[in-house]
Structure 1
């Protein structure tokens, strides 16, 4: 399969390298010129629990005029719509676009740019990755990927994409109800993203903390209640037990929102905790816990621009 990975950060690098190692014809597009140059000269190097390897990958700072079978949007949620507008010649009549971001809201923005009929939505569970330098990425966890149709993309097309990823060694499957899986991940994310970003604590520290542990569980329960009120078929009976089990499996993890705060970057909090009050508003409900957490993180981020 001809595949373009747009956004070759830590996660995008892991995706691209493993797909290329499986024999797919892979190119990457990223704005970081030094990263692109290193990949072009020496390949894309990835290390992790299953060893280290380098994969030959073509790299560009802007999308070439080269239609592919699959475009993978691996940028942050806030950048997804802008990235979709730059795809240009990568998208042909039969190209599938797969968007993989945290939270809720970015897929709608991408669909507005590329059309919902060609769009698949991906969820990455239990991934941890970082860039060690130009052309070099490391992953310390890689659990599962689940893909589903955003709108009317045929199930056979989603399965074809999932099979390409399985060939790359990913635990990947096509699912019928991607919305339910998005919400199940979101329930876990809201429990830790804002609380960790605000306090600097790891997931495990928030989980066990007297005050923040209560806030974390309230955020998760509120998200679960809104999901059920919206008619989302989440397979979660007890949201508190659900997020405690999630946190216990990765106590030393720092959510991406905390990593962004530590680096002085604006996070994806508007697509994570901030998604809950937006979804609540659609049914005339309120989500004060997540709305407050979002406002607090955004206030802290505003200091970066002051």
Structure 2
């Protein structure tokens, strides 16, 4: 299978290296970070961590126009790059090629759908990888849990299984779902619990759990997100959101969410599609979300000092 990955940051690098390893697929890595792309071209892409330590040769470019007739296009950019990636995906993929959106938070698939239509789109939900960049051409990940896949419009389709099998050949543990939106919300509840509070306080996940003041904010974020999901008719597999996010956090006590890592580097983070998604969706269903709203306002105020 010819696979194009738009956005080869930490997680995108893990996807690219494992999917391309040992010639399993013809993978193209597409990213705007020129030094990263140059390193992949010159030395290959190194990924170390839970999946081992490998350096994989593959095609890499900063120009999406270099890629044609992909069988699968994976959009793995951050939220602010999704719109441009969706337009590029139309040119990169075959006319019937599925476009798989894998982002944190909520809203990315809708942006892609505005460009390509929902019938082309699959959604991916990953967790437990804890990926970070060590430098150009070099990524690391702490874990390797499940990749969850589903059609944006729902249903179990033959092409969904074809895409899932392509990932399995790369060594990923893959689950497919008739309703992937449930999984999106279950991850979003965990993300908004820790992302905003960690970025504001500088604390790791386990430190938030052990700090009563920080935990009260994190738990309130979770509770609000849960109430919004229920009001939207999302079927969740738990009825105690605070217990759910506590158990999730206990698995990764030393983790720094990507929002915290962005702030430590002086970069603006994915606020709008994580904590910012809760007030936005809450307004649609008449659910007040005061804690997430304050967290978002504080995050935006903090980011106003970033270049």
Q: Which residue of 1 aligns with 2:243?
A: 241
Q: Which residue of 2 aligns with 1:32?
A: 33
CA deviation after TM superposition for structure 1 residue 303, in Å: 1.3
> What's the TM-score once normalised by structure 1's chain length?
0.96
1:5 aligns with 2:5: yes
Give runs of aligned pairs for residues 1-306 of structure 1, distance below 5 A. Answer: 1-21=1-21, 23-63=24-64, 64-151=66-153, 155-305=157-307
Contact 1:46–1:52 (Cα < 8 Å) also in 2: yes
1:142 and 1:154 map into 2 onto residues whose CA distance is 24
> What's the TM-score once normalised by structure 2's chain length?
0.96
- Secondary structure of 1:251's counterpart equals coil
1:190 and 1:231 map into 2 onto residues whose CA distance is 19
- Secondary structure of 1:102's counterpart equals coil
1:227 and 1:252 map into 2 onto residues whose CA distance is 28
What runs of 5+ residues in structure 1 fail to find an aligned partner?
none
Deviation string 1:35-76 (CA, Å, 9 cap, x unpaired) is 112211222111113421121210011112411100011111
Contact 1:10–1:131 (Cα < 8 Å) also in 2: yes
What runs of 5+ residues in structure 2 fail to find an aligned partner?
none
1:244 and 1:300 map into 2 onto residues whose CA distance is 26
2:246 and 2:155 map into 1 onto residues whose CA distance is 35
Cα pair distance change 1:82/1:167, threshold 3 Å: same
1:171 and 1:69 map into 2 onto residues whose CA distance is 21
- Secondary structure of 2:285's counterpart equals coil
- Secondary structure of 1:172's counterpart equals strand
More off after superposition, 20-29 vs 79-88: 79-88
CA deviation after TM superposition for structure 1 residue 295, in Å: 0.9
Coordinate RMSD, CA, aligned:
1.4
Contact 1:65–1:88 (Cα < 8 Å) also in 2: no
CA deviation after TM superposition for structure 1 residue 88, in Å: 4.8
More off after superposition, 83-92 vs 187-196: 83-92
